[in-house]
Structure 1
Amino acid sequence: MRQSRAATAPVPLRPGNLLPARELGVAWSFMVLIALLAWLLTIAQARDMGIEPGTMGMGVPLFLLLWLAMMTAMMFPSVAPVAVTWVRGISRQSAGAVRAARIAGFTSGYLVAWTAFGLVAYGLLAATGRLVNDHPDAGRWIGATAFALAGLQQLGPLKNVCLRHCRSPMGQLMRYASFRRWARDLRVGAHHGLYCVGCCWGLMIVLIPLGVMNIAAMAGVAVVIFMEKLWRHGPALSTVVGVALLILAVLAPFQDWLLPGLDGSASPMQPMS
């Protein structure tokens, strides 16, 4: 019995677990480079927009474009090992160009899942923006609610299930191999993306009180997501972050500095010299 449990215990997907270090390193470095370019684009946009409540005057198409850039910046470093492992597992003898196309299909599907969540985020931002404009004091309670929901999600069962999948996806990836070949990479990426949304949506909604274009907050969330998925103490970190968010929920109604994304007082960021 002990041997059986040990054999089926989840093994976090980390560099070197399943792939040649050189191959994983090159693919991961390329995806991190794409993430870096997305960060530069997001920072450049944030310098002009500042931190304001709501959607900051953006329509749905423009918001989704910016959202995709944000998700690419924040998520690609942690999803790269999964994408490369999937492609490596099903196309061992394929040329590099074929593998690159498969990785592109996987990451496109992954971003489709996050784009769907982006529509939900846009609706939440639009609603909170209108509410804060009509009732400025409501921002305190919106912020407290966002922190509380995020904290509860961090400590809840859905987080645990989705985080286990994101840390050790090999069982699910083996099931994906039976999918029909038509758009398989895209569908596999979307399916994994849904698990990632289930794992990280709580961390994303803290950007409502902290500010969607708050670069420091985005970077902090990205670091937490990365460490939760790839660090060996990721599950413990998830619990610590959940408790911290619940503490922020208690403090938010009395500490305006925790709510830069809901007070509308922050001015646009000045260009860097």
Structure 2
Amino acid sequence: MRTIQRPITNDHPLRPGVLLPARELAVAWSLIVLIAVLAWVLTVGQALDMGIEPGTMGMALPLFLVLWLAMMAAMMLPSVAPVAVTWAKGIARQSSGATRALRTTEFIAGYLIAWTVFGLVAYGALAVTGDLVDRDPDAGKWIGAAAFALAGLYQLGPLKNVCLRHCRSPIGQLLHYASYRPRMRDLRVGLHHGAYCVGCCWALMIALIPLGVMNIAAMAGLAVLIFLEKLWYRGPQLARVAGIAFLGLAALAPFQDWLLPGLQPSMM
């Protein structure tokens, strides 16, 4: 009996049996690491110049979004690197290594666009909270408590679990992306995965309102937490522990000003 094999079309991005050569895999990893390192250098340099102040620190929206984009690249790319490399394996059919690098960059661009859109929300929240603190310094205590409580409750909620599960095991969704039309597919894949990542981590970013949006220690701590949540085998349990810790911070915030460096009135 003759065996009939189903043909595999050339535009299928995850066809079986296609492996990315070790050198090309190293290039994909190096590209992501390089972007993350440059983003950290830019973010740390700017944070040292600006210090920690409430609100938007006088930044106009375009400048804020540039810095926000750098922050998100620094904080998020280490945890999204395995997904980006998995997608790079799926596009190994391309004959040109430069094309693979370009498509991986397009994936990362889509991912960062999702976080830049959330940056608009973050800017609005910072503008409002900064204005409230300027009017009434005591308001910072309750804003900080509310931000920590929101982060804690979301960490313990069902939507966090759904989005975290996607970020930890995205292969099923990556296979679904194979049905996308080739035109701008990589950008759309990155954007879609980025939207899940925003759903997973947005409340942690809200915690930067009391901690300070340019607080290097807070950014590094959250980046490590996000990395472990997504890649450590006990990540879901860690997310719940972090949620309980944030609720503890919410209870302490009205009485401990040192927990709220990002909500201390400006001395200018």
In the superposition, the TM-score normalised over structure 2's length comes to: 0.89
Cα offset, 1:264, TM superposition: 3.2
- SS of 2:53's equivalent in the other structure is coil
**Corresponding residue for 2:207?**
206
Cα distance in 1 for partners of 2:259, 2:91 equals 47
**Corresponding residue for 2:129?**
128
Q: Which amino acid aligns with 2:137?
A: P
Cα offset, 1:29, TM superposition: 3.2
**Corresponding residue for 1:143?**
144
Q: 1:130 to 1:28 in 2, by over 3 A?
A: same
Q: Which amino acid aligns with 1:203?
A: L
**Corresponding residue for 1:153?**
154
Structure 1: runs of 5 or more not aligned = 1-17, 268-273
Cα distance in 2 for partners of 1:33, 1:90 equals 21
Q: Which amino acid aligns with 2:63?
A: L
Matched, 1:78 2:84: no
Q: How does 1:180-259 map to 2 (within 5 A)?
A: 180-259=181-260
Q: 1:19 to 1:198 in 2, by over 3 A?
A: farther
**Corresponding residue for 1:9?**
none
Cα offset, 1:94, TM superposition: 3.1
Conservation of the 8 A alpha-carbon contact between 1:260 and 1:266: no
**Corresponding residue for 2:100?**
99
**Corresponding residue for 2:265?**
264
Cα distance in 2 for partners of 1:24, 1:127 equals 45
**Corresponding residue for 1:5?**
none
**Corresponding residue for 2:55?**
54
Conservation of the 8 A alpha-carbon contact between 2:142 and 2:254: yes
Q: How does 1:32-43 map to 2 (within 5 A)?
A: 32-43=33-44
Aligned residues: 250
**Corresponding residue for 2:70?**
69
Cα distance in 2 for partners of 1:262, 1:20 equals 50
Conservation of the 8 A alpha-carbon contact between 1:106 and 1:186: yes
Root-mean-square deviation (CA), in Å? 1.6
Q: 1:241 to 1:21 in 2, by over 3 A?
A: farther
Cα distance in 2 for partners of 1:79, 1:130 equals 35
In the superposition, the TM-score normalised over structure 1's length comes to: 0.88
Cα distance in 2 for partners of 1:192, 1:73 equals 17
Q: Which amino acid aligns with 2:148?
A: F
- SS of 1:208's equivalent in the other structure is helix
Cα offset, 1:112, TM superposition: 0.7
Conservation of the 8 A alpha-carbon contact between 2:28 and 2:104: no
Conservation of the 8 A alpha-carbon contact between 1:88 and 1:99: no
Question: Taking every aligned residue pair, what percent have the same amino acid on both sides?
Answer: 75
Cα distance in 1 for partners of 2:88, 2:126 equals 36
Larger radius of gyration: 2
Cα distance in 2 for partners of 1:148, 1:98 equals 45
Cα distance in 1 for partners of 2:254, 2:190 equals 39
